[in-house]
Amino acid sequence: MAHEEDNLSKELELTEGSKMPAAPSPMKELTPEMKKELSKIKEKIDKFGKDVVKKIPYVLSIGLLPALPHMAQSAGPRAGGSGQGQGAHDKEKKKPELIIVLPDEKVKEIKKIEKDLAEILKKVDLDATFFTRTTQELWQTCFDGHYADMDRISMSYPVHDKGILSALRVASIHKNLVLRKFERYVTSYVIAGSLVRGQATKTSDVDIYVVIDDTDVKRMSRYELKERLRAMIYSYAFEANEIAGAKNKLSPQVYILTEFWESVKDANPVIFTFIRDGVPFYDRGAFMPWKLLLKMGKIKPSQEAIDNFMLLGERVGKKVKEDLNRIVTEDIYWGVITPSQAALMLYGLPPPTPRETVELMDKTFVEKEGLLEKKYIKILDKVVTLYKDYEHGRLKEVKGKDVDELLTEVSEYMQRLKELVKQIEKKAGENTVLKIHEDAFSLLETILGKGVEQRLVDKFKEKLVDRGEMTQRSLEVLKEIVRAKQDHKKGKLSRQEIDRVRKDAQEFMRALTEHEQRKNLLLTEKSRFRIKIGEKQAELFIFADEAFLIAGEKKEVLKADLKKKKLESSNMEELAEKLKNAPKELELGLEKIQELKKLFGKDFTFLF
């Protein structure tokens, strides 16, 4: 293939950091002509699709083919059967065209199926042409090199689809993106996997292989070339999935021609399978000759390749032993140590080292808490000992039966560890609820004096809630704290409920603390005024150059800077500090009142 010297390297270097080629129009969207035509016959096409699926439930796909340009040759399928004959199609090019895809095993029933389809068309009064194709007949279109025909099928509007049309659509979009960037270098673009076998579903991966001609590359290494090509072609796969709107995920494999040919000569099984089963979506005369040569038995492995494959077989035993050792020394070890460390951290201990974990598990959960049985510590110790013996060369090989025995013990250990975590959570929850209750009622005793639980709740309601100094919500939270302690003793409180009580209790104690602070602050009456802003009352503390406003149920504090004429958030601590140094007398003149009205609004009034 003749290129200018090393154009592919230049193309890749220029592409770094630049935009991708403009994507083709989403194939899931119809052209304006198709939309106009479809709007006229949509109900009939939908009815046709439902009736076909009801009559022929094994039909794989029904698609409305996009309209052909004026005077263009038909890009519809050509081999296989046709719904109403090619002659009819030539005479009625403006009729809507439908493609019906059938399983390969139904090929002998095509004539009967076409008769049923014609009857359904007549029944729904749909003036359209249809083509029936088995999956093998679809792929024959590609084998014959009619890629434009397959592109047209890929662009079909899906009336009914079990997955073939959506898979073709995403592959076709990706192919066009790749060709738009690398057309001169794409040797072959091939589909394979479940799509080719006719087993594609709406969520099946779409296996594709892209072979890029690298024979003129001199400016970069083959490794760098492959990495750059893969990065770009994989990025196009993501874009193609988004454009297609299909759930079928593209799974691309990228090969450069020089290495691909070496794999063919070495009889690489993956490449042989790919050539044998793949279908070319685009080919510059390379893939089909490979396929035919393989079928004729002309592509044979070298003696070196045969020797290498035999050597791989001889290495199986050694690899199995290495894998068994790895299972014990890495997978099982870390699979047991890591969750054990998590249990200790949940209990409240700092993250231990693997070496400390066995001893800490024993001291904490067996000896101190009595939550875990000694036999599970022995299992954990056995795993750690095996790991250390292998690590220091004392253990050379682990037998299969030893691995089976160890896996059974580890499974038992992990099951018990899950139960232990629940026990830790329950104990931690109990401590949390008791601490919340203790802190809340200790604060109440400080404010209201000593008393039993119910008496303190009644005094809180009488002296603070009923007088409007605390909200009704705060009383409900206090009762909730009492109930949480009772419910937890009965085992009725979940982890989520404990978290909710903790959050509510924190808010309750913060509000109660601020109330007490505010109460102490209000002993300084000279600076305090009761005001009204609109319909809401508030408290205002006025100083020479600042004013503090306490308003709302949450008793939010705002500070007004009378010099800078601006408002900002503050807190009770800042107000308390200001009151300590406040003068005993305050001169409140008309000018200061006007400044306050500007800051707080015209509906600001004093309640003298």
pLDDT band at 208 (very low <50, low <70, confident <90, very high): very high
Instruction: List pLDDT tens digits, range 324-359.
Output: 666 666 778 888 888 888 888 877 788 788 778 889
Residue 527 has pLDDT above 60, yes or no: yes
Instruction: List pLDDT tens digits, range 131-145.
Output: 999 999 999 999 999
Average pLDDT over residues 550-569: 84
Q: How far apart are CA 350 and CA 353, in angstroms?
A: 10
Which of 45-49, 195-199, 530-534, 536-540 comes out lowest in average pLDDT?
A: 530-534
Domains in the chain, CATH or no CATH each = 1-21+167-308 (3.30.460.10), 28-154 (no CATH), 316-398 (no CATH), 428-520 (no CATH), 528-606 (no CATH)
In SS3 terms, 192-259 reads as ECCCCCCCCCCCCCEEEEEEECCCCCCCCCHHHHHHHHHHHHHHHHHHHHHHHCCCCCEEEEEEEHHH
Residue 188 has pLDDT above 70, yes or no: yes
* Token digits of residue 364: 């904490």
pLDDT band at 321 (very low <50, low <70, confident <90, very high): low
How are strands ordered across the β-sheet holding 536-542? Answer: 566-569, 556-561, 546-551, 536-542, 528-533, 604-606
Tell the residue number behind the tokens 């009914």, with chain if given: 160
User: Is the model more confident about 261 or about 173?
Assistant: 173
Instruction: List pLDDT tens digits, range 78-102.
Output: 333 334 444 444 444 578 899 999 9
Q: How far apart are CA 107 and CA 594, in angstroms?
A: 94
Residue 473 has pLDDT above 70, yes or no: yes
Pairing mode, if any, of strands 206-212 and 250-256? Answer: parallel
Q: Which candidate, 581, 463, 596, 589, places its Cα nearest to that of 524?
A: 581
Instruction: List pLDDT tens digits, range 422-447.
Output: 777 777 666 677 778 888 888 888 77
pLDDT at 327: 65
pLDDT band at 150 (very low <50, low <70, confident <90, very high): very high
Residue 279 has pLDDT above 80, yes or no: yes
pLDDT band at 271 (very low <50, low <70, confident <90, very high): confident
Q: How far apart are CA 493 and CA 392, in angstroms?
A: 49
Residues 6+ apart with CB under 8 A from 541: 527, 528, 529, 547, 548, 550, 575, 578, 579
Q: How far apart are CA 140 and CA 566, in angstroms?
A: 79
* Token digits of residue 49: 């699709």
pLDDT band at 49 (very low <50, low <70, confident <90, very high): very high
Average pLDDT over residues 153-175: 93
Q: Are 153 and 138 in contact (CB under 8 A)?
A: yes
Average pLDDT over residues 169-186: 91
User: Is the model more confident about 237 or about 553?
Assistant: 237
Residue 70 has pLDDT above 60, yes or no: no
What percent of the chain lies above the pLDDT cut of 70? 78
Q: Please give the C-alpha separations between residue 392 and each of 360, 380, 382, 386, 398, in angstroms, as whole numbers.
A: 23, 19, 15, 10, 14
User: Is the model more confident about 313 or about 67?
Assistant: 67
pLDDT band at 320 (very low <50, low <70, confident <90, very high): low
Count CA atoms closer than 13 A to 539's CA, side-chain side.
19
Q: Are 257 and 212 in contact (CB under 8 A)?
A: yes
* Token digits of residue 512: 């109660």
pLDDT band at 159 (very low <50, low <70, confident <90, very high): very high
Average pLDDT over residues 29-47: 72
pLDDT at 79: 36
Task: For Cα atoms 331, 335, 338, give the angle at the middle one, nearest 5 degrees.
Answer: 135
pLDDT at 12: 61
Q: State the average pLDDT for the chain.
A: 79
Q: Are 182 and 11 in contact (CB under 8 A)?
A: yes
Pairing mode, if any, of strands 129-134 and 206-212? Answer: unpaired
pLDDT at 567: 87
Instruction: List pLDDT tens digits, range 349-399.
Output: 887 887 788 899 999 889 888 889 999 999 888 888 888 877 777 777 767
Tell the residue number behind the tokens 């519809």, with chain if given: 76
pLDDT band at 531 (very low <50, low <70, confident <90, very high): confident
pLDDT at 154: 92
Average pLDDT over residues 200-214: 89
Which of 91-100, 389-398, 483-492, 516-525 comes out lowest in average pLDDT?
A: 516-525
